[in-house]
Amino acid sequence: MSSQVLFGFHAVGVRLKTAPKSIVEIYFEPTRRDARMRQFIDKVKEAGVRLIEADSMRLSKLCGGHGHQGVAARVQALTQVHSLDELLENLEATQSALPTDQRFNPLILVLDGVTDPHNLGACLRVADGAGVHAVIAPKDHAAGINATVAKVASGAAETVPYFMVTNLARTLGELKERNIWIIGTSDTATQTLYQADLTGPVALVLGAEGDGMRQLTAKTCDQLVRIPMRGAVESLNVSVASGVCLYEALRQRGGA
């Protein structure tokens, strides 16, 4: 099974909490002796995971940069749902098995052209908080999951299914066939986000900061909405915009 590196207290801590047996070993900087590190080391020992002392230089080399907070882990890749179709079929099967009053509508985040790993990590963190069922991005001109994404996502890269698809417009068409409403964000839209009905099965589409969605993606959407801007700036960072949109969906759904 392939291995990967996670770093930072949040990313390593979430894996330690959710799948400790998948951790091969954890590296820590022994010169850091603050309360946070002591508590972290105690949890690692409780879980029976191998601990290895490593200086800052070794940690930086292992993680591909600084910002590791003195903590890194070599972990086995977790078993993931292999395709978007598989995930959607699992959701449909789960729905049919639930009582009517406990059923839920899919909520999907689509990122068109988000190439910055920090933005992707922040989007995944917001998606996890809002209970998103999947995040979708095109294979071309989009960031993949790496150690930086996992660090910024604070564990959400482990919990939110992330699918990179060959043809985004075609994938959106397939979502429509499953009765999922496609809502894109655009500065030129006449309707605001708060006028849209987000209570049904919805995929929210956001483009990269600056360029926005590609033209074909916008044409594929069922509806376009804008986030009202009252100040001097013209747009929000994509992760902030994701948070605004997803939590409006959560609010409309009664916070469920």
Together in a domain, 111 and 190: yes
Do both 15 and 126 map to the same domain?
A: no
Provide the number of structural domains found in the chain. 2
* Among 76, 103, 134, residue at a domain's last position: 76
* DSSP per residue, 145-193: --HHHHHHHTTHHHHS-EEEES-HHHHHHHHHHTT-EEEEE-TT-SEEG
**195 shares a domain with 128:** yes
**Which of 59, 76, 93 lies at the terminal end of a domain, its last residue?**
76
Per-residue pLDDT of the chain (256 residues; tens, 9 = 90+): 467 888 888 888 888 887 888 899 999 999 998 999 999 999 999 999 999 999 999 998 888 777 789 999 998 876 666 788 888 888 877 776 667 776 788 999 999 989 999 999 999 999 999 999 999 999 988 888 888 898 888 878 888 999 999 999 999 999 999 999 999 999 889 999 999 999 999 999 999 877 788 999 999 999 999 999 988 887 889 999 999 999 999 999 986 5
Domain limits for position 55: 3-76
- The answer to whether residues 205 and 181 belong to one domain is yes
CATH number of the domain where residue 52 is located: 3.30.1330.30
* pLDDT one-digit tens code per residue, 28-84: 999 998 999 999 999 999 999 999 999 999 998 888 777 789 999 998 876 666 788
Same domain, 116 and 154: yes
Token digits of residue 134: 């999947």
Does residue 247 share a domain with residue 129?
yes
Residues 101 and 46 in one domain: no
